[in-house]
Amino acid sequence: MRKLVLLLYLLFPLASMAQQALTNDGVIQMKKAGLSDDLILTTIQATQAKFDVSPSGIIALKSAGLDDKVIEAIVNKTSGLKPPSNSAAAPEPSSALPSGIDEVGVYYLNKSGTWTEMMPEVINYKSGGFLKSLATDGIVKGDLNGHIPGKKSRFVTTFPVRIALYAPEGTAPTEYLLLRLRVNSNNREFRSMTGGVIHSSGGATRDQVPFTATKIAPRVYSFTLDSKLGKGEYGIMPPGSITTSNLASSGKIYSMSITE
């Protein structure tokens, strides 16, 4: 009750802000009266003020026992700055596509910091009895391997490699596969599956490398490959990339050769 009476006594002259403005002395009086910092801050923000924010004026406020946040509010009031928000909102992904990304595909960040589109290569799938299995609900009794012509990708790079996936509408980044490719005499290959059902993504398991992508724009997801993976041949296979016919099964993959 005593504090309330003191507050009314101190603030009564401030009821008509056109006649009297809050000064350094007024704030010091509120502090000496035992009012809380929060109440003093509210008064500063809601009242017309004429503060002395010179070095000597600020020193006098500090000497009177005022908290730094109260002094900061006084300075901000004088300069016209709005008080900082107590809760920082989480940053949201930009609604605009990053520069260089303009259509569905896979991109890498080049040395100059520009997103550059990666060109896909063709995968040829081979498996004993595979053609027969396509006519029986896609059940594969043997190994199904993906083969990519050539011992090395045309895209040669070094760690770290930052990748961006611009996914089709309704597609999640978890539907993409990052694969470690095994080099043979004249091609690169990966084990897609041993038995089981052919999935639209190819069903790669043995040579799959886990990754976690972060959303950076609508339908755009990014992740980084670091040196822990080890140098070698890698490929990113998008979902739904396999096509089949009566003669063969093929797909596409975005490959890279990481040398160090």
Q: Quote the CA–CA distance of 172 and 169 in Å, as a whole number.
A: 9
Domain-terminating residue out of 79, 114, 136: 79
Q: Quote the CA–CA distance of 123 and 252 in Å, as a whole number.
A: 5
Q: Is the pLDDT of residue 141 over 80?
A: no
Reported as a pLDDT band with limits 50, 70 and 90, residue 177 is very high
Q: Is the pLDDT of residue 254 over 70?
A: yes
Three-state secondary-structure class, residue 213: coil
Domain-terminating residue out of 11, 44, 79: 79
Examine the domain organization and report whether 72 and 115 are in the same domain: no
Reported as a pLDDT band with limits 50, 70 and 90, residue 45 is confident
Examine the domain organization and report whether 109 and 206 are in the same domain: yes
Domain-terminating residue out of 79, 114, 141: 79
Q: What is the pLDDT of residue 250?
A: 77
Q: What is the pLDDT of residue 201?
A: 45
What radius of gyration do the chain's Cα atoms show? 33
Q: How far apart are the first and last CA of the chain?
A: 74
Q: What is the pLDDT of residue 19?
A: 53
Reported as a pLDDT band with limits 50, 70 and 90, residue 18 is very low
Q: What is the pLDDT of residue 55?
A: 86
Is residue 56 included in any domain, yes or no?
Answer: yes
Tens digits of residue pLDDT in 215-234: 999 999 999 999 999 999 99
Q: What is the pLDDT of residue 196?
A: 39
Domain of 251 in residue numbering reads as 105-258
Examine the domain organization and report whether 185 and 226 are in the same domain: yes
Tens digits of residue pLDDT in 113-137: 999 999 999 998 876 544 444 434 4
Q: Which of 157, 161, 164, 169 is nearest to 228 (CA)?
A: 161
Segment (H or E) for 187: strand 187-194
Q: Is the pLDDT of residue 170 over 80?
A: yes
Rounded mean pLDDT, 40-63: 88
CA angle 237, 170, 190 (to 5 degrees): 15
Rounded mean pLDDT, 134-143: 43
Q: Is the pLDDT of residue 61 over 80?
A: yes
Q: What is the pLDDT of residue 113?
A: 92
Higher pLDDT, 192 or 17: 192
Examine the domain organization and report whether 29 and 114 are in the same domain: no
Rounded mean pLDDT, 58-76: 90
Tokens describing residue 210 = 């886990």
Segment (H or E) for 236: strand 232-237
Is residue 98 included in any domain, yes or no?
Answer: no
- Does this model's pTM top 0.95? My answer is no
Examine the domain organization and report whether 112 and 167 are in the same domain: yes
Q: What is the pLDDT of residue 235?
A: 96
Examine the domain organization and report whether 247 and 129 are in the same domain: yes
Examine the domain organization and report whether 70 and 139 are in the same domain: no
- 10-19, 33-42, 95-104: the lowest-pLDDT one: 10-19
Q: What is the pLDDT of residue 94?
A: 53
**Total domains in the fold of the chain:** 2
Examine the domain organization and report whether 246 and 188 are in the same domain: yes
What are the CA-CA distances from residue 155 to residues 108, 110, 158, 259 (Å)?
10, 11, 10, 11
Is residue 96 included in any domain, yes or no?
Answer: no
Higher pLDDT, 167 or 243: 167
Examine the domain organization and report whether 74 and 111 are in the same domain: no
Examine the domain organization and report whether 135 and 215 are in the same domain: yes
Q: Is the pLDDT of residue 182 over 70?
A: yes
Examine the domain organization and report whether 11 and 128 are in the same domain: no
